[in-house]
A and B are shown apart, each in its own frame.
Chain A
Amino acid sequence: MHELSIMQNVIEICESNSGGSRVLSVVMEIGNLSGVVAEAAEFCFEACSRGTLVEGARLRIDRIPAAGSCLECGNSFGLQTYFDPCPACGGNAITVTAGEELRVKELEVA
C-alpha cells in the first residue's frame, strides 16, 4: 500500500498550491507502468484528505498509456508491460518513453 504515502504527498502538493483556498477538484496523471493502482489511489485520497483543504474534492485520474522505443532498431511502440519485446525486431532492450508518470496536473480551487 505505497498508495497511502503517495497520496499523502498528493495532498501536501495540493495544499501548497491552492493558495490557502479550498480545493474542489484534483487532476492527476498516472502512467500505466507507474506501479500505482488507481482504485487504491482513490481510496487513499479520500482517507488522506480528511481535515485538509482537499477534503471533499473530486479526484480525476488520467491514465497515461505506456510506450517504449527499441534500443536496437529504434522502433517506437506501445507497451503493456516492462517485458514486451520490440514487435519489429524482437529485442528486449527498451527505453520506456511514457507510462511512468505520477504527477499532480492541475487543481480547481474555490
Chain B
Amino acid sequence: MCTTCGCDTPAHHEHHGDTVIHRHEHHEEVVREGKLVAVEVDVLAKNNSLAQGNRRRFVSESVFVLNLVSSPGSGKTTLLERTLTDLRGAIRCAVIEGDQQTDNDAVRIAATGAPVRQINTGSGCHLDAHMVGHAAEELPLPDIDILFIENVGNLVCPASFDLGEHHKVVVLSVTEGEDKPLKYPQMFRAARVMLLNKMDLAPHVAFDVARCRDMALKVNPAITIFEVSAVNGAGMDRWYDWLRSGITKAREEAAPAPVAG
C-alpha cells in the first residue's frame, strides 16, 4: 500500500536526491516529500535585536526611557502633559507619541515645550523597535533626561514588543474595570510600574482600589503602584521621585562608577 495516498495500486517511485515523486497509474497526482530544515528561530528575534540596538543607544546617551502602555482613554496623554509641565526647567523630557491616526496628541505635548515626534501606525496595533529607532534619531538624545514613549492604546499587543525601554509603565484609570490586571496579565506582568490614574474620580465610581492593587500584585509581585490624579496633581510627587531615581540609575549605567581596589 502506498503510504502517501493509501491506495493499494503499486506505485512507481522516482527518486531524485531527497525528493521522492510518487506516480500512480490511476491518477496523475505528484506528491513530493520535501527536505526538512531545522530553523529554531524566535519569531520576535528581529524586533528584539533592533530593541537591543535602541537600548545601547539610550544607555550610551544616558537617557531614561519609559514605554507607557494602557487601554485607550486611561489618561496617558493628560498624565504626560501634567508631568512635562510640572518637571519643566528641572528635568529635560522628550516624547514619542504612537497612535494609529492623527497628530492630536503630539500637538498637545508640543504645547508643553517638550520635543515630540509622532508615529502613526496606520492599522498597526502597537509600536515596534524599528519605528521607535527612527523616531529617536530625530530627537536630541544627548540633551534629554527622560524619553517617554506613549504606545498605541491597547493592553494586548504592545506587551510582546520590546522597544529598548528601561521599563514599561502601565496606566490604569479608576473608570475602567478593577480586574484589568487579571484580564490582561501579560501586560501587567511586563510592567515595572502601575499608575492608577483619575483617583479624583474614585469617590464617584464603583472601583475597589484595594482589590485592584491585590490583583496587580498577584500577577506581578514586583510591580510598584502609584495612585495619582493627572487632573488635580494628587500623588504625582511620588511618581516624580521615582522618575528622578530612574534618571540617576540611567546616568550610572552610562558611566559606571570605578571599582574600588
A interface residues, Cβ below 8 angstroms from B: 1-2, 5-6, 9-10, 12-14, 17-19, 21, 24-25, 28, 33-36, 81-83, 85, 92-93, 102-110
Contacts of B128 in A (CB 8 A): 5
Contacts of B45 in A (CB 8 A): 13
Q: A2-B157, A5-B124, A35-B186 are in contact. Are A13 and B34 (CB under 8 A)?
A: no
Within 8 A of A (CB), among B158-175: 159-161
Q: A92-B217, A103-B41 are in contact. Are A35 and B46 (CB under 8 A)?
A: no
B interface residues, Cβ below 8 angstroms from A: 19, 32, 34-47, 124-126, 128, 156-157, 159-161, 182, 185-186, 189, 215, 217-222
Q: A2-B125, A25-B34, A82-B186 are in contact. Are A106 and B43 (CB under 8 A)?
A: no
Q: Contact between B36 and A92 (Cβ–Cβ < 8 Å)? A: no
Contact of A24 among B32, B41, B219, B222 (CB under 8 A): B32
Cα(A13)–Cα(B38), bound, Å: 12
Q: A2-B156, A24-B34, A93-B221 are in contact. Are A105 and B40 (CB under 8 A)?
A: yes
A-B contact pairs, 30 of them (CB 8 A): A1-B125, A2-B126, A2-B157, A2-B160, A2-B161, A5-B124, A6-B44, A6-B160, A9-B43, A13-B45, A17-B39, A17-B41, A21-B35, A35-B156, A35-B159, A81-B185, A82-B185, A82-B219, A82-B220, A83-B215, A83-B219, A92-B217, A92-B221, A93-B222, A102-B42, A103-B42, A107-B37, A108-B34, A108-B36, A109-B34
Look across to chain A and name the residue whose beta carbon is closest to the beta carbon of B37: A107
Q: Contact between A104 and B156 (Cβ–Cβ < 8 Å)? A: no
Contacts of B43 in A (CB 8 A): 6, 9-10, 13, 28, 102-104
Main secondary structure of the interface of A (DSSP, over half): mixed
CB distance from B46 to the nearest CB of A (A): 6
Contacts of A107 in B (CB 8 A): 36-37, 39
CB distance from A40 to the nearest CB of B (A): 11
Q: Contact between A106 and B35 (Cβ–Cβ < 8 Å)? A: no
Cα(A109)–Cα(B39), bound, Å: 12
CB distance from A89 to the nearest CB of B (A): 13
Cα(A83)–Cα(B187), bound, Å: 12
CB distance from B131 to the nearest CB of A (A): 11
Cα(A9)–Cα(B189), bound, Å: 24
Contacts of B217 in A (CB 8 A): 92
Look across to chain A and name the residue whose beta carbon is closest to the beta carbon of B214: A92
Cα(A104)–Cα(B219), bound, Å: 28
Q: A5-B124, A13-B41, A17-B37 are in contact. Are A110 and B160 (CB under 8 A)?
A: no
Contacts of A36 in B (CB 8 A): 160
Cα(A104)–Cα(B46), bound, Å: 13
Contacts of A24 in B (CB 8 A): 32, 34
CB distance from A21 to the nearest CB of B (A): 8
Q: Which of A9, A83, A104, A110 has the most CB of B within 10 A?
A: A83
Contacts of B156 in A (CB 8 A): 2, 35
Contacts of B215 in A (CB 8 A): 83
CB distance from B6 to the nearest CB of A (A): 18
Q: Contact between B34 and A12 (Cβ–Cβ < 8 Å)? A: no
Give 13 A-B pairs besides A2-B161, A108-B37, A110-B19 with Cβ atoms closer than 8 angstroms.
A6-B44, A9-B44, A9-B46, A10-B43, A13-B43, A21-B35, A24-B32, A25-B34, A35-B186, A82-B219, A93-B221, A104-B41, A110-B34
